Amino acid sequence: METNSEAWILTGGSGFIGQHLIKYLLEITEIKIINIDIVKNPIEDERILDINIDILRLGEISIPHGLNISKIIHLAALAKEPGYQWEEYFRTNAAGTLEVIKLAERIDCKEIIFTSTMMVFRASESQKLISDIKDGDTAYGISKSIAEEELIKWEIRGDGRKLLIIRPGVVFGAGEGANFTRMIKSSKKGRFFFIGRKSTIKGCIYVKELVNIISHYHSSCGSNIVHAVYPQQYSISDIYESISRVYGINKPAYTLSYPAMMALAGIYNFIFPKSFIHPRRIQKLYYSTNIESSLDSEDYRLVYGNLDLALSDWKKEEDI
């Protein structure tokens, strides 16, 4: 990697969002990228320097002489829920962010972009605004909220520092292998069921839209907190209907009792603790995660303007 040039640091660049972001940055910029992740990045490019290390060991890394680090994009996180012990979320998401702050101060980097989550708010039927008090009630949401507060303190402590916090909804797209992927697969097989009702709101965003949002807002002088979800409030029924249109599915989806499914999931998880069937996943299908979108304005024009367009683009890229 050449020296005497500008570079950006990405933490967690080998993950789902990170890989999409790196591909996008390589296409639109000549920037050098230092990817810090415990997993090797599969993207081969001479502009990428891969440093495979735990986020709590950032104090051990050295930046190649001559590289000017102008920005840190902090993606590294434990997000899968359920999937980890309570304290593990705080270790990576909160303590890990403190290490990112120490690194920024050590190399005198004055700009950080942080991908947080809409789960800094608890699931609720009322739409959450940026100005609302954060009331997350999961280890994932609380640990991300702590990280936000530490980063805000970092910004205040130094002149010329700039912080951008992006709170995505459910992120979907190629390589995701999570909520939307499972929903598409089960819908194709006629095995998708609504839990308790069809009206559950799920704030969501296509991964390619998200990387566009990061690119757009990092250079803008607007808000330093962005809610990255589609302006349209999609219910789980809307999502199912969109999936059905895009994938040509013509199968009914029935509604199952929420209390009954919670009880069955609890029993099943007790017997088979490593099973996919878990009460938390049942809750996520029932409770709304609804935040006000920052994208419903003239400041940002959606590239993939609705769910159908996003799913169609994803379908071209990945066969599920």
Q: Which pLDDT does position 275 carry in this prediction?
A: 77
Report yes or no on 212 lying in a domain: no
pLDDT score at 175? 95
Whether the per-residue pLDDT at 233 is higher than 90: the answer is yes
Determine the pLDDT at residue 1: 55
The vertex-245 CA angle with 241 and 246, nearest 5°, equals: 120
pLDDT higher than threshold 70 for residue 116: yes
Position 60 confidence tier, pLDDT thresholds 50, 70, 90: very high
138/69 same-domain check: yes
Residue 207 to residue 115: CA distance in whole angstroms:
12
Same domain membership, residue 183 and residue 94:
no
Report the pLDDT averaged over residues 145-158: 96
pTM of the model as a whole: 0.94
Q: What is the pLDDT of residue 170?
A: 97
Q: Is residue 209 part of a domain?
A: no
When comparing pLDDT for 319 and 11, which is higher?
11
Whether 320 maps to a domain, the answer reads no
Under 8 Å CB-to-CB from 244, ≥6 apart: which residues?
187, 250, 251
Q: Quick check: 111 pLDDT over 70?
A: yes
Helix/strand/coil for 305 = coil
pLDDT confidence of 2, banded at 50, 70, 90? low
Coil, strand or helix at 168: strand
- How confident is the model over 138-151, as pLDDT tens digits? 999 999 999 999 99
Q: At what angle do helices 236-247 and 179-188 cross, to 10 degrees?
A: 60
Is the pLDDT reported for residue 298 higher than 90? Answer: no
**Structural domains in the chain (count):** 2
* Beta bridge pairs of residue 34: 9, 49
Residues 58 and 134 occupy one common structural domain? yes
Say yes or no to pLDDT of 3 above 60: no
Residue span of the structural domain in which 309 resides: 176-202+230-289+297-315
Using pLDDT thresholds of 50, 70 and 90, give the confidence band for residue 81: confident
Residues in the chain: 320
58 and 131 in a single domain? The answer is yes
Task: Tell me which of 277 and 232 has the higher pLDDT.
Answer: 232
CB atoms within 10 A of CB 238: 16
Report the CATH number that the domain containing residue 250 is assigned in CATH.
3.90.25
State the chain's mean pLDDT as an integer: 93
**Does the pLDDT of residue 219 top 70, yes or no?**
no
Asked if residue 158 is part of any domain, the answer here is: yes
Asked whether residue 162 falls in the same domain as residue 282, the answer is no
- Stretch 226-238: mean pLDDT: 96
Percent residues over pLDDT 70 in the chain: 97
Domain boundary (152, 168, 184) is at 168
Q: Residue written as tokens 């590294």?
A: 76
Instruction: Give the tens place of pLDDT for each residue, 240-289.
Output: 999 999 999 999 999 999 999 999 999 988 888 877 788 888 998 999 99
pLDDT score for 223: 55
Query: Per-residue pLDDT for 57 more than 70?
Result: yes
Residue 182 has pLDDT above 80, yes or no: yes
Distances (CA, A) of 143 to 76, 92, 136, 272, 280: 13, 9, 9, 28, 18
Same domain, 197 and 54: no
pLDDT of residue 277: 83
Of residues 285 and 208, the one with the higher pLDDT is 208
| CATH code where residue 132 lies | 3.40.50.720
Query: Is residue 259 situated within a structural domain?
Result: yes
Let me know whether 71 and 137 are in one domain: yes
